Chains A and B, each alone.
Chain A
Amino acid sequence: MSDAPTVASLAAEHGQSEAYAYLDERTKRNVRRALLKALAIPGWQIPFDSREMPVARGWGSGGLQVTLSLVGPTDTVKVIDQGDDSSANASSMRSLISRTSGCAETTVTEEATIIQSRHRIPEIPLRGDQVLVLQVPHPEPLRRVVTNDAVALEHHAERDYTPAWLDLYDDEARHGAPRTGADYPVLVEGTTLMSPSPIPRYDVLRLGNRPHATLLGAGRRARVAALPPFTSVEPLVFDDRPLLAESAAEPCIRCGSIDSYRVQSGGRYQLAAEAGNGPWCCSDVDACRTRRNDP
């Protein structure tokens, strides 16, 4: 690694008016401290000094600040939006990260050291030397049932999640299932309720006991949360009503997978006459490509 650039050498040669990895050092330090605290209390929401970023708030500014405060010149960064590397917002963030930090970029899950993602967890299992950064729109899992943040904090302090349980009970009683689709609340280490970001239930069931750390950043609400490696994460469900993953009607039209998370497209050219719109495709583009190349 002797010929790899160091932060100091890059800083010395780039000579730009802009700080290394975009954020000034004070902000990075603040984000890192918040992340350390978040790792120490898994699932707990830690406030941080969220900055106005070159992406709009609510567009991944929280995840971007987390990534930028972690990234170094030897990192390889992958950014996905809904599982897709080529989304315009994901590519613009990926190029901002690599341009300002001098790190490499990739779309291949195995090559990445930092994976920033909006609303999906890569389906190819991550290793312990990788970090997953999730963009979070609503860090407060009680937001719908306890609208006042201060009151919600009291509920967290007392680990009293009765309002969330009541909401779930009412859904089960009246609809026979939870009404929440994505962003299903989870209990971290059996005690702290956390929003896992609007990942599908398919991903909620894969959140626990991972060998890698998962960092969650919410820029608009200025909070971070974290799941250290091998943290227990369970969806908030009754013992006799397990959470079910989404079902897809057909295998992926590209790779033929029947156990990936698939979404149906609207059909490209005209309105299909019959029920069922377009084909079903894997939402994780890289995992789908990997399955096709190496069946």
Chain B
Amino acid sequence: MYATMKETDSVAAARAFAEYGAQGAEHARLPILEEQICAEAGIWAPEVAGRAARQAGGDIPRAVALLKVWAAALPHVAALPVEPADVCILRRLSSAYSEIPGGQWLGVAPELASRLLDWSDESAHPVAEAPRRHQHEPEHSASDGETGGLISAGASDGETANTAERAGGADAPTRAETPRVRSLLRDVPVAAVPEDSDGHDPALGSPGVSHDRATRTGIMARGETASLVAFAALVLGRRREAVLAEMTTADVTVRVRHPRTGRPCAVAEVPIVEAEAVIDAEVEGRAGFAIGWGASLGSIERRAISLALLDGAMQADGDLEEPLMLDEPTLLGATDGSANNGFVEHLRLPHHASFGSYLSQARTDRNGESQAKADGHGESQAKVDGNGEMT
């Protein structure tokens, strides 16, 4: 994370943006575009990203480059690992189970907004917006209900209403009191997650040729959105099973040590989207799962889903040694953006019935050795729970 230590002209301008918002500018905000630029540049500064986008004439790669160039000259302060209690969850869903401990929160569901072009007067309609906790700007909170996709799934039928209808308000739960859905996978084999270090911050320089998982995850979190989605769609097309165990969008508080007292001080709140994908894998000769994890700045869910799929495939297939034929159907498929986006994002849909089918197959496994072996997996699962913290 970046934090400013010394004022320069560019820093002062950024501070002005941060303090006064975009009200000074008469330009229409495009929040998702700004998020994408921030995520790909690896710095959370949406107002600056908006400025970069305008100066680049809407050319996203150029805007990302402008932002990266600006960020490169800023002083860099190491942030502390994010505490689970500092992760305020605004939206949470699982496609693997209908009900999950802690509950599903659909919140603002961008995928359910209308996909039909609206020809009526533009100024009368709110722009698609990312989920945000509005506690610092209470005058805006009334607009929550108008952002289009705010819904509560299953509400029409009392017995399936499993979703609390709450938009990111002050009572948003934190990661600390919300268990991870992956911990429900106790009686099926799960591929062991390699030991993690803190990882190497890609903003600090080149981390060499071979990366541990944390470093790789950090590098890929800055990946170009369309490329991530294209590769994830390739992976997804060749799996037997892939479901989203859990996806959350959250506002997290970033803390750094106070230079004098050494106490953690909150310096920023950034939105984070995090996903955990469960894909089929062979674990010690048995059918089981690999759990892939991915997170990205902002709230663009397809980025996190793609990252989780790619991470999962790398664990399931030993660093993706699967040969990739660059033949015609692969190329045409990889470049079909709307098909890839739809395909990757469809993991958000419920998969309870098909996931139940794969679970049943993995459980009833396997040459008679099912139960004895399955019992041993509760412990190894508990170890996995520790990682996935943001650094």
Q: B-contacting residues of A (Cβ < 8 Å)?
A: 52-59, 61, 81-89, 91-92, 118-120, 137-138, 143-144, 147-150, 174-183, 198-202, 220, 244, 246-248, 254, 261-271, 275, 277-278, 281, 283, 285
Beyond A175-B286, A278-B99, A283-B352, 4 additional contacts (C-beta under 8 Å) are: A181-B241, A198-B354, A199-B353, A266-B98
Chain B residues within an 8 Å CB radius of A52 = 338
Q: CA separation between A200 and B266, bound complex, in Å?
A: 49
Chain B interface size, as a band, is: 35 or more
Q: Nearest B residue to A261 by beta-carbon distance?
A: B353
Q: CA separation between A177 and B366, bound complex, in Å?
A: 7
A263–B238 contact, CB under 8 A? Answer: no
B179–A270 contact, CB under 8 A? Answer: yes
Chain A residues within an 8 Å CB radius of B354 = 82, 119, 181-183, 198-200
B114–A54 contact, CB under 8 A? Answer: yes
Known interface pairs A56-B345, A178-B361, A271-B179; A119-B157 also in contact (CB < 8 Å):
no
Chain B residues within an 8 Å CB radius of A177 = 361, 364-366
Does B357 belong to the interface (CB within 8 Å)? yes
Does B339 belong to the interface (CB within 8 Å)? yes
Chain B residues within an 8 Å CB radius of A178 = 361
B240–A181 contact, CB under 8 A? Answer: yes
Chain A residues within an 8 Å CB radius of B97 = 264-266, 277-278
A179–B280 contact, CB under 8 A? Answer: yes
B346–A58 contact, CB under 8 A? Answer: yes
A179–B157 contact, CB under 8 A? Answer: no
A181–B360 contact, CB under 8 A? Answer: yes
Q: Nearest B residue to A171 by beta-carbon distance?
A: B287
Query: How many Å from the CB of A264 to the closest CB on chain B?
Result: 7
Does B379 belong to the interface (CB within 8 Å)? no
Q: Nearest A residue to B111 by beta-carbon distance?
A: A56
Q: CA separation between A137 and B344, bound complex, in Å?
A: 11
B116–A54 contact, CB under 8 A? Answer: yes
Q: CA separation between A57 and B328, bound complex, in Å?
A: 21
Query: How many Å from the CB of B157 to the closest CB on chain A?
Result: 5
Does B194 belong to the interface (CB within 8 Å)? no
Q: CA separation between A183 and B240, bound complex, in Å?
A: 8
Q: CA separation between A122 and B239, bound complex, in Å?
A: 26
A147–B238 contact, CB under 8 A? Answer: yes
Chain A residues within an 8 Å CB radius of B187 = 275
Chain B residues within an 8 Å CB radius of A84 = 154, 160, 350
B358–A181 contact, CB under 8 A? Answer: yes
A58–B342 contact, CB under 8 A? Answer: yes
Q: Nearest B residue to A288 by beta-carbon distance?
A: B159
Per-position binary interface string of chain B over residues 242-261, scored 1 when its CB falls under 8 Å from any chain A CB and 0 otherwise: 00000000000000000000
Q: Nearest A residue to B347 by beta-carbon distance?
A: A58
The 29 sampled A-B contact pairs (Cβ below 8 Å) are A53-B115, A56-B338, A59-B346, A59-B349, A82-B354, A84-B350, A119-B351, A147-B238, A175-B286, A175-B287, A177-B361, A177-B366, A183-B354, A198-B354, A220-B342, A246-B356, A246-B360, A246-B361, A248-B360, A262-B356, A263-B353, A263-B355, A266-B97, A275-B375, A275-B378, A277-B184, A281-B98, A283-B353, A285-B160
